[in-house]
Amino acid sequence: MEIKLESKDKYSVKFSYRPELVTMIKNIPGRSFNPQSKSWMIPESSKPHLESMAKRIVHFEPVQWVNTVVSDQRPEKLLEIPEMPQLTIDHGLKVQPYPYQLQGIARGLELKRFMNTDEPGLGKSLQALATINLSGAFPCLVVCPSSLKINWEREWHKFSDKKAMVLSDKVRDTWPFFWNTGLYQVFIVNYESLKKYFVQSIKPGKKLTLRDVTFRENVKLFKSVIIDESHRCKSSATQQAKFVKGISDGKEWRIELTGTPVVNRPKDLLSQLSIIGKLEEFGGYKYFINRYCSGPNKASNLKELNSLLWQKCMFRREKSTVLKDLPDKIRSVMTCEITNRKEYKDAERDLIQYLRKYKEADDEKIQKALKGEVMVRINILRQISARGKIKEVAEFVQDFQEEGQKIVLFCSLHEVVDQLKKIFPHAVSVTGRENSDQKQQAIDMFQKNPKTNIIICSIRAAGVGLTLTAASNVAFVEFPWTYADCCQCEDRCHRIGQKDSVTAYYFLGKNTIDEKVYKIIQLKKGIANAVTGSLDDVPENIVDMVAKLFNEEIKD
């Protein structure tokens, strides 16, 4: 760009055509375009605006001043990381956020279109929904992985006064009615279903472009979009990235959440920046590629890129930097759909029949015998639910892999262990099937090898005595009956040598016995003995507690 003083009261500005530069210069008061000289004319009174624009673009557009003196041609705070602001208004949530979360909410309100790339376990979803809640930008669309839909629904209800709905075939065409009547303010959809709910037609062709997609009119209703695990859109060539881009375009509020905005190289940012409408502020596609994706590793000027991201559209905190704000442990309930619902319902009906017989039994010996039968069927139900959760658990773990985070998975069934190892062949395991040398080798690999980021542990074989402090994340595919045993498993990571707060994720099958058992765990934190399948180890009132939780089904 050449900026030349043509006369005492006028500057001419010439540059190679860039849409983003044209947009910026059109915001300068008094500007006009001279078609003969193909230059923009700026009045001297608008020199401060011209200088400000030059500072903003100099990182991607060389600026040459001719016949004039300027105060400072350096870009504004080019390599500085801005401080996070303080929230000066009430957060409007049902819970009290941590101090760093309040700062994230405040920064989100400033940016409107941004990426929250906090490390997993720091509450990105809470910050995002609080930002939208304070902005009043409803209806809001949440796009997330399938395994997180129910979790998002519950978090809106838990943290705010807004009602959220997971889109389903039942409301495929009628969901706007629920917004228009004030019943729901938030709508949740997984990436794979975007086409079903929001795409009207796709023009046939060899290569799909966004211009080939016609969206339904209902996408215009949304005032805001939250895109969870946005690194799934890192490739603009994918259908889901195109759909997210098309749905998000024009929205004032667009929030991307990901612990790994860059999975491989800076190029991963291009599509994500485009979705939130920030790519042009980095010089556009070609400039971004040349400036930040050069060299043998296809990565260059990274310190500059990091600073510009922080200034324009991104923030990130790690557990270690906000540790003083965090409790020693954070527990998160992840409710997911199971893939074997019919098998589960059949087994559930069988359990309910036995519970009814147990409840009606007068003879003490018969009741004792029935209690054993009931426990067998309860454990069968839990096993069916565990198998049904594998798909969504695997999807969750894959996100951790992409984020470079280590994670410990706890389960009981050998079948579940085997299926997980089939999905994650490089994972190590500690179960009852390995000898002591094999177990120690698995632990050492997980603790010392950065590439070994998943360890699959049997609750019985690895619930005590092991140190797995290389991870600060624990996920329960299956879980014990008691609070004490849950703590024992969590404490494989939460022990001396752990530098981070530990996050424990509990996967509960939706509308399954998992939810009932988890309630029992919360109610009976004092119970010290686990249910191991042996009737002698069963706390006397466990069957009664399960029967009580199944009470409505027993009455039917």
Answer positive or negative: Cα dihedral of 447, 439, 431, 338: positive
**Domains in the chain, CATH or no CATH each:** 2-66 (3.40.1170), 99-325 (3.40.50.10810), 329-555 (3.40.50.300)
Q: Is the peptide bond before 539 cis (omega within 30 degrees of 0)?
A: no
Phi, psi of 295 (to 5 degrees): 85, 175
Beta-bridge mates of residue 423: none
Which candidate, 127, 181, 185, 191, places its Cα nearest to that of 157?
185
Predicted TM-score (pTM) of this structure: 0.69
Least reliable range by pLDDT among 5-19, 240-254, 388-402: 5-19
370 contact partners, CB below 8 Å, separation of at least 6: 354, 357, 358, 361
pLDDT tens digits along 415-428: 999 999 999 999 99
CA distances from 260 to 42, 266, 387 (A): 43, 11, 29
- DSSP annotation of 256 reads E
Task: Please tell me the predicted confidence (pLDDT) of residue 279.
Answer: 93
Separation of first and last alpha carbons in the chain: 78
Contact by Cβ (8 Å): 490, 466:
no
Confidence of residue 365 (pLDDT cuts 50, 70, 90): low
Spatial distance between the Cα atoms of 216 and 500, rounded to a whole number of angstroms: 45
pLDDT score of 475 more than 70: yes
pLDDT tens digits along 296-331: 888 888 888 999 999 999 999 988 788 778 677 888
- Can you count the helices (H) and strands (E) in the chain? 20, 20
Q: How many of the other CB atoms lie within 10 Å of CB of 211?
A: 10
Output the average pLDDT for the chain: 86
Confidence of residue 535 (pLDDT cuts 50, 70, 90): very low
Which candidate, 72, 36, 20, places its Cα nearest to that of 12?
36
CA distances from 466 to 341, 448, 492, 496 (A): 35, 14, 6, 12
pLDDT tens digits along 368-401: 666 677 788 888 989 999 999 999 999 999 988 8
Of all residues in the chain, the percent with pLDDT exceeding 90 is 51
pLDDT score of 539 more than 80: no
- Please tell me which of 52-61, 120-129, 158-167 the model is most confident about, judged by mean pLDDT: 158-167
Strand order from edge to edge, sheet including 314-315: 164-166, 186-190, 140-144, 224-228, 253-257, 113-116, 314-315
